[in-house]
Structure 1
């Protein structure tokens, strides 16, 4: 009886453990599915707003590329969920088989116990069994033995009932998984159809843009020139801010040294001669140093979790070298990321900090730079700004609104992140810092 109980307990523990792991994987896939569906819905809204002029067609093509990629990821997600459901069904069937085998063993034991109980069913039979003992102690043992037999019969019956309930539960779970699998297959089929529709639309837009290749190449050269100018201006602004901060630091150290010299003790060696002892002064640590260090650490701790600079948007050009969507062998270089957003969308600070620059750069609109300790975030292509140099901003605080060119139905937010170490400024990939 003890060995049977241990086996049952082992089966239950294994079932619970495997169920916990499977549930964790299933929940992860469902969260991924929700995020992909959110991305698809967001991109779909932007696509509906895109018009058929050249500039918007580029955005439309990039958005379509993203939409197809999201849908393909979602199909893969459905495949994983379907495989997970199939594994669950198989696992449940194996558990039912194990439980059924255990049921056979339990029923055989139960039959034997019932036969024994039947043979000793009357009180006189029990009494005779006890009184026929050779000694008092043997009689007590026989009485306890009979009690245990009755207790075992009850327990055996309860265990059989428990197995029956478990089998019924597992059967229901199998039916649920089959329904879930069927639903995933239907959704996968629908997404496949949407991918084909998006690909057809993608080809139409692609062909339209191919016909304008000459104009596009000329515009690419102009855009590259504007981007190079933007980079020079941003680097100059950050370096100027660093130089000004260094000048303030040196001035504060000089003033502190002057005060220390004025307060130094004087020793008299003769009526006409005095000698002074100059105490060693440590470099002054400005109050902002600790503040900046804490802010830098906090900013670093939010890598991959920063909110987007626009509430709704889609990255249509990533960081670094990007292949042109219609011209083979042509690449663009991006010092940040470009995010397609609704027309005149508001731009938000991605983290708390201090505004160090507000500039107007031809071809890039207004530009705002925010300092976060040793990091700088750059927001360009702004039509209007709501902050000034020295303004303290909080996370998600609106700092401006995006430019919209004539005839365009979408706006583009250009966002950069830079790290400052000493006087060296390094651009970072914002895609690794923004929340997924």
Structure 2
């Protein structure tokens, strides 16, 4: 009964260990992603070091890097805490195994003593011959065989449990080393974070001296973004009206969905089935501004409305289609860089702020096909792609569609 309890206890620890290992792998994957993200930010900063970035752009950079550093510290802490729990579990397993081994060895020692006392072959024969009948003699013979087998099994169990104990001790040493490495890394990350925060606060102090000027710049940028977004919306509305007219579907003022052909329905269905697995619209980069309405990092009384995501990337980076489709429109607006729109049934992806365009309207494109080059601001050195996803007229959060965005 005692051994059964210890066995069940060990199984419960094993199950817990598997789930903790899975969690540890997930955390490690996330930690490496965040580290790569920081490397991208540092590389782009180094690339643009000689350029005079605007204070607003610098604040965005600081905010994003601080956010990533905070996430890295959080994930590393979670890993360290999980390792602490694993270490505690292993230490308990070691204690339980030692107790179990002690009982096994005591039991084994008692059997050896008993075997020694009855080692005389004549004693064994007498034990069999003193049976009252054949049935009892047979049972005694079987007992002697079972006893011998039990001795061997007990010896093997002790051997395997000893090896298991040694392995857990090794694992424990590795876990303690891993935990120490995480603690050291976290201290380094914390120092970097403090440095970034100090620079951020210094820049914010400078901005606050002339906050009205920067507030005006933010409003002007928002107006420009709104102007471009309205033009995109107008073009999509016209495309919807055209699709409904071609299909003979009645068009009303409230109609805001495409009328699709059979081929377009299949394309839209394939696009949806790849939600969360679509490739990035650039090979390298990070999201500098996310989707949705958010507070301005400079003036908290102002809001920034983002219909898509703003991706910072390297000079000369090619924009690429995130899924197969048809180039429905190339938009050229006064005082703005070209925009490529690709239709995937009733879904549209828009690629804003291109310097060069390598496709034309009506072209069929494949997943990851280059459609142009992202514009690099010659003054700031920044290379930013604005990427939007639409379902009919409604914008979608690109992070829900793009793999690990």
> What's the TM-score, normalizing by structure 1?
0.84
**1:137-148 alignment runs, 5 A limit:** 137-148=135-146
Residue of structure 2 equivalent to 1:338: 310
Q: Which residue of 2 aligns with 1:120?
A: 118
Cα distance in 2 between the residues matched to 1:295 and 1:142: 78
* 1:33 Cα offset (Å): 0.8
Alignment partner, residue 350 of structure 2: 378
Kindly tell me: are residues 45 and 139 of structure 1, through their superposed partners in 2, closer, same or farther at Cα, counting changes over 3 Å?
same
Consecutive unaligned residues of structure 2, counting only runs of 5 or more, are 250-258
Segment drifting more, 171-180 vs 330-339 = 330-339
Query: For each residue in 1:364-392, what CA deviation from the matched residue of structure 2 results, as whole angstroms up to 9, or x when unmatched?
Result: 31111110111111111112111111101
Determine helix, strand or coil for the equivalent of 2:261.
Answer: helix
Query: Is 143-152 or 315-324 further displaced after alignment?
Result: 315-324
The answer (yes or no) to whether the contact 1:40–1:70 under 8 Å persists in 2 is yes
SS at match of 1:361: coil
The partner residue of 2:191 within 176, 190, 193 is 193
201-210 or 164-173, larger mean C-alpha shift: 201-210
8 Å contact kept, 1:47–1:60: no
Task: Give, in whole Å, the separation in 2 of the partners of 1:66 and 1:347.
Answer: 22
Gaps of 5+ in 1: 252-286
In the alignment, the residues of structure 2 paired with residue 231 and residue 414 of structure 1 have an alpha-carbon distance, to the nearest angstrom, of: 11
Of the three residues 289, 299, 302, the one matched with 1:327 is 299
Q: How far off is 1:218 after superposition?
A: 3.5
Which of 108, 111, 135 is 2:109 aligned to? Answer: 111
Q: What are the residue-to-residue correspondences of 1:82-93 with 2, within 5 Å? A: 82-93=80-91
Alpha-carbon shift at residue 405 of structure 1 (Å): 3.0
Cα distance change on mapping 1:57 and 1:302 into 2, 3 Å: farther
**Taking structure 1 as reference, are residues 118 and 385 closer, same or farther at Cα in structure 2, changes over 3 Å only?**
same
Which position in structure 1 is the counterpart of 2:359? 387
Deviation at 1:173, TM superposition (A): 1.4
Distance in structure 2 (CA, Å) of the matches to 1:419 and 1:360: 22
Aligned to 1:403: 375
1:83 Cα shift? 1.1
Query: What is the TM-score when the length of structure 2 is the normalising length?
Result: 0.90
Q: Does the 8 Å contact 2:355/2:374 carry over to 1? A: yes
Partner of 1:75: 73
Residues 209 and 339 of structure 1: CA distance in aligned 2, closer, same or farther (over 3 Å): farther
In the TM superposition, residue 9 of structure 1 has moved relative to its aligned partner by: 4.4
Q: Secondary structure at the match of 2:338?
A: strand
Residue in structure 2 matching 1:426, options 394, 400, 403 = 394
After TM superposition, give the deviation of residue 305 of structure 1 in Å. 2.5
State the Cα deviation string for residues 254-287 of structure 1 (Å, max 9, x = none): xxxxxxxxxxxxxxxxxxxxxxxxxxxxxxxxx9
- Measured on the aligned residues, the alpha-carbon RMSD in Å equals 2.3
Q: Which has the larger radius of gyration?
A: 1
Look up the match of 1:47: 45
**Distance in 2 of aligned mates of 1:109 and 1:100:** 14
Mapped to 2, the partners of 1:122 and 1:407 lie a distance apart of: 100
Residue of structure 1 equivalent to 2:15: 17
| Equivalent in the alignment of 1:293 | 265
How many residues are aligned here?
Answer: 395
Matched residue SS, 1:413? strand
1:195-214 aligned at under 5 Å gives the runs 195-211=193-209, 213-214=211-212
Counterparts in 2 of 1:213-232, with a 5 A limit?
213-232=211-230
1:427 to partner: Cα distance: 1.8
Q: 1:140 aligns to what SS in structure 2?
A: helix
Aligned twin of 1:133: 131
Please give the secondary structure, in 2, of the residue aligned with 1:365: coil
Instruction: Give the alignment partner of residue 337 of structure 2, picking from 362, 365, 378.
Output: 365
**Helix, strand or coil at the partner of 1:88:** helix
- For 1:225-240, list aligned pairs within 5 A: 225-240=223-238
Cα distance in 1 for partners of 2:119, 2:24 equals 53
